[in-house]
Amino acid sequence: MSPAGLHLVTDGRLRLDRLLIVVDAAVRAGAAVVQVRGKEASARELTETVVAVSQVVDDRAAVLVNDRLDVALAARHGGARVDGVHLGQDDLDPVVARHLLGRDALIGWTAHRDAHLRALASLPEGTVDYLGVGLVRPTTSKADGPPVLGVGGFGSFALSTELPCIAIGGVRVTDVPDLAAVGAAGVAVVTAVADAPDPGAAAGGFVDALGALR
């Protein structure tokens, strides 16, 4: 299972019915991964959202749970197809996630500092499948996020690892060529799709831009 392509990260501000419309439109347009994120949601609420998203996505894209390994496991227990997790530096150890989710799961890890690369090097081979690297630009969806790297900083980080790197943080469709040129395997977006008047067209713009560079 490849992490390359467009990652849609769901916006926890959206009502579930609207969120599912956005997810369906993005997947129809060719999004490769849907990361379900709900920073303010309870475990029960987020599990219900993951189950609903999994049903909408079906087998058209990978479904990951952002941050919450417990929710990924609960949704799987409830019959949802959950392909893996994307974990932050303060979340549960990716080694634990690999053990509990299995070798075929897709596991991403947020990384943006040299210390994160050193931590990555200490993990057993095959623990993490890809890195989420940013911020590329300031973004309101991660107000407490890491420092802004810019395209150049992203590229320097991507050159330091053999793992695929997904660019995140205020990414615009016009950034895709420059990000791909410095090593991005894909991009992750939230508001660029969720807030667009036509989410499908917005997602399709990213998918087309990434496809044109392959």
Q: Which residues are annotated as a binding site?
A: 35-39, 66-67, 91, 110, 139-142, 170, 190-191
DSSP H helical ranges for the chain: 16-28, 43-57, 69-77, 94-101, 114-121, 150-158, 176-181, 191-194, 199-212
Binding residue ranges for Mg(2+): 67, 91
Report the candidate in 69, 129, 57 with the shortest Cα–Cα distance to residue 96: 69
Question: Which pair of tokens denotes residue 100?
Answer: 């509990």
Query: For residue 79, what is the enclosing H or E element?
Result: none
**Phi, psi for residue 172 in degrees, rounded to 5:** -105, 155
Task: Return d(Cα 63, Cα 97) in angstroms, integer.
Answer: 15
Q: What is d(CA 118, CA 15) in angstroms, rounded to the nearest whole number? A: 39
Token pair 């909408």 in the structure block, residue: 56
Query: Residue 127 has what DSSP assignment?
Result: S
Burial 127-164 (b: 16+ CB within 10 A, else e): bbbbbbbbbbbebebbeebbebbbbebbbebbebbebb
